[in-house]
Amino acid sequence: MKSRLTIASLLMALALCACQDQDAQMVLKTLNEDPRLVSREVHVKKVRFGEKRREGEPRPYEADILNKDGKVVGKAEGRRVENFGTVRPRIQWTDPALADKSLDPPEQNINTRMKQRIMEADANGDGRVTFEEAAAADSHLMKPAFDYFDRNGDGAVSAEDDTYEGPNRNRRLWRGNRREGGGSGNRGGQPE
C-alpha cells in the first residue's frame, strides 16, 4: 500500500511538472543559469506568475531562491516577455551572507553575452555559426542581432569577425541605417 502511494505521488508530481507552461520552464532555466545564483550555489524550483495588465505586455513573475537544504534564502522578481525572453531579474537576498555583492561575478556586456549565445549554436563544431544554425538553436534569435555580429558579411559568425577591419554594412542595419552626421534639415534651432 505504501509503495502505491509513493508511486501515485510521484506520478502526480511528474504531471504537475509537465503542466508548467513554456514561459515557466524558460524562466526557471534562465534563473538557474543566472551567474548570481550559480556563484552562490543556490537554485529556484518554482516560478509564480502575476497577471498581465494588457495583451502583449511583459508577464511579471516571482520565485523563491533556495539553498542546498531547501531553505528560502532570497527572492527573484522579473518579467517574461512572450516570444522574446526574460528580463534580468531583481534579486533580494534574505540571508545576509549571500547579500554580499563581492560574490557576484563580473558583469559581461550585452555584446559578449549575445555572441556567446550565438556561438553555442555551432551545431557542426566548425567554429562558425550560420544563421540557419542559430535560428535552429534559438527560434527567437532575430536576424538583425545575427547580422550585427557577422561583421564581414560572410553569412556566419566566427572568430574572423572579431578581427575584421573592413566596412560593416551590418552594423548600419542594427542601428537603423543612420548616416554619419545625419541629414540636412531644420532640427528645431534657428531658421536658416
Name the band, by pLDDT with cuts 50, 70 and 90, for residue 108. low
CB of 131 within 8 A of CB of 143? yes
Same domain, 42 and 96: yes
Q: Is residue 11 included in any domain, yes or no?
A: no
- The pairing of beta strand 43-49 with beta strand 59-66: antiparallel
Q: Which CATH number covers residue 155?
A: 1.10.238
Give me the pLDDT at residue 83, please: 52
Name the grid cell of 62.
516571482
Residue 48 has pLDDT above 60, yes or no: yes
Integer Cα distance of 92 and 63 in angstroms: 11
Of 99-103, 123-127, 170-174, the poorest mean pLDDT is in 170-174
Three cell numbers written together for 100: 554580499
Number of domains within the chain: 2
Residue 72 predicted with pLDDT over 90 = yes
pLDDT at 164 over 90: no
pLDDT 10s digits, 14-47: 444 544 577 788 888 888 988 889 889 999 999 9
Looking at per-residue pLDDT, the higher value among 89 and 87 belongs to 89
Q: Sorting pLDDT into bands at 50, 70 and 90, what band is 87?
A: low
d(CA 143, CA 140) in angstroms, rounded, equals 9
Residue of 171, 168, 34, 167 lying closest to 113 (CA atoms): 34
> 164 and 126, same structural domain?
yes
User: Nearest-CA neighbor of 161 among 174, 169, 170, 152?
Assistant: 152
- The share of the chain scoring above pLDDT 90, in percent, equals 12
CA–CA separation, 174 vs 153, rounded Å? 13
Q: 119 and 66, same structural domain?
A: no
106 to 39, 41, 87, 101, 102: CA distances (angstroms): 11, 16, 18, 10, 9
Q: Measuring CA to CA, which residue among 131, 133, 154 is closest to residue 143?
A: 131
Residues 121 and 152 in one domain: yes
Whole-structure pTM value: 0.47
Residues 87, 114, single domain; the answer is no
**Residue 17: all three cell numbers together:** 511538472
Average pLDDT, the chain: 72
